[in-house]
Amino acid sequence: MTKKSHSITIRDVARQAGVSIATVSRFINQTTPVSPGVATRVNDVMSKLNYVPQATARNLATKKTNAVGLLLTYRLYGDFFASLLRGVEEVTGEARLNLLIESRHPNLNGRIPPALGPHNTDGLLVFVDSLDDAELEHLSALNFPVVLIHRTSPARLKIPSVTVENKTAIIGIIDHLIEHHHRKKIIFLRGPENQEDSYWREMGYRASLEAHGIQYRPELLLPGEFDREVAHATLLNFSMADIEFDAVFAGNDEAAIGVMAALREIGKRIPEDVAVIGFDDQNRTAPYLTPPLTTVRAPTEEVGRVAARQLVNLIRLGQADPLTLLPTEIVIRQSCGCPA
């Protein structure tokens, strides 16, 4: 018979997980990293034994910080971040919660614990890869409120998430390039590796090519990282390979800025020689580029708003929607070749 949860000790967890008490303590308190395998084993034993650390149970039961955290990746900036933050701040302000923000480098995941967590917030909003799966497992084992932004939950954890529709919009905008502007040699700039937005955008790109009988060419898939400087350098380097292309899907609007600058540097006219399209519709940038940018409008501010509402519901009511997928729409301007 399994012991009642209140009689389970850290010693019991350590014994069943086959590790030291100090290792379990490090995992619980995130003072120093443990290996992913050990983290998973300890987490599984804690779940099996229904073990809740005494300090955590006491804090979660009696202590509220009246603050929530927003974990971001270190390269998030510009209009996208401003829009996301506006949405989050609107809801946290209405809920009378302080908002704490931490910018994390993905390379730190599993090595340095985040500064924000159960010890100083009542819940976390986690943007894409600012926490790895092992860290999410740890928070889930503590029953700590978390909502994911622009990524879905690991299947075994069932963490609520808020993201946008990518694939259908990209199919539509690539269809537009092919059917209305007869572009067939379309470069696709990928976003950061393993990000779901980038994956689904690539799936839309490939689906459109296939539907029109255009052969997929791996040499036209290039790194863009959702970053203007990376996209700029990528296009300049690619131009020296003497491979023909007549359009570029830049990955997002930020990268499109770098693409357009590179095309001008190599003497290509937009859109006469090369059409350019983006994603996000950064309203302080995209309409004012030369030519104005054809793109996909993503409801970035609403993503922040909905994610924050879900987190407030999770903290105060103990429930949130498992997955919220917000719609996107194509915005036609002149960079694809359409008239003003």
Whether residues 226 and 269 share a domain: the answer is yes
Q: DSSP secondary structure string, 32-57?
A: S---HHHHHHHHHHHHHHT---HHHH
| Residue 340: inside a domain | no
Whether residues 174 and 246 share a domain: the answer is yes
Number of Cβ within a 10 Å radius of residue 179:
11
What is the CATH classification number for the domain harbouring 208? Answer: 3.40.50.2300
Whether residues 196 and 245 share a domain: the answer is yes
Whether residues 171 and 274 share a domain: the answer is yes
| Helix pair 253-265, 78-94: axis angle to 10 deg | 170
Can you read off the two tokens belonging to residue 24? 């379990």
pLDDT, residue 282, reads: 85
Whether residues 244 and 323 share a domain: the answer is no
| Total number of domains constituting the chain | 3
pLDDT, residue 108, reads: 65
Q: Which amino acid is at 27?
A: F
Whether residues 174 and 274 share a domain: the answer is yes
Tell whether the model's pLDDT for residue 317 goes beyond 70.
Answer: yes
| Residue 339: inside a domain | no
Residue 42's pLDDT band, with cuts at 50, 70 and 90, is confident
Tell whether the model's pLDDT for residue 125 goes beyond 60.
Answer: yes
For 204-262, how does the pLDDT look when each residue is reduced to its tens digit (9 = 90+)? 999 999 999 999 999 999 999 999 999 999 999 999 998 999 999 999 999 999 999 99
What average pLDDT does range 177-201 have in this prediction?
A: 96
For 292-309, how does the pLDDT look when each residue is reduced to its tens digit (9 = 90+)? 999 999 999 999 999 999
| Residue 286: inside a domain | no
Q: Which amino acid is at 150?
A: H
What is the CATH classification number for the domain harbouring 41? Answer: 1.10.260.40
Average confidence score pLDDT of the chain: 90
pLDDT, residue 30, reads: 63
Lowest mean pLDDT among 37-41, 155-159, 199-203: 37-41
| Residue 334: inside a domain | no
**Nearest Cα to 125, choosing from 86, 73, 71?**
71
pLDDT, residue 233, reads: 98
Residue 32's pLDDT band, with cuts at 50, 70 and 90, is low
Domain that holds residue 41: 5-57
Whether residues 189 and 105 share a domain: the answer is no
Q: Is the pTM value of this prediction over 0.85?
A: no
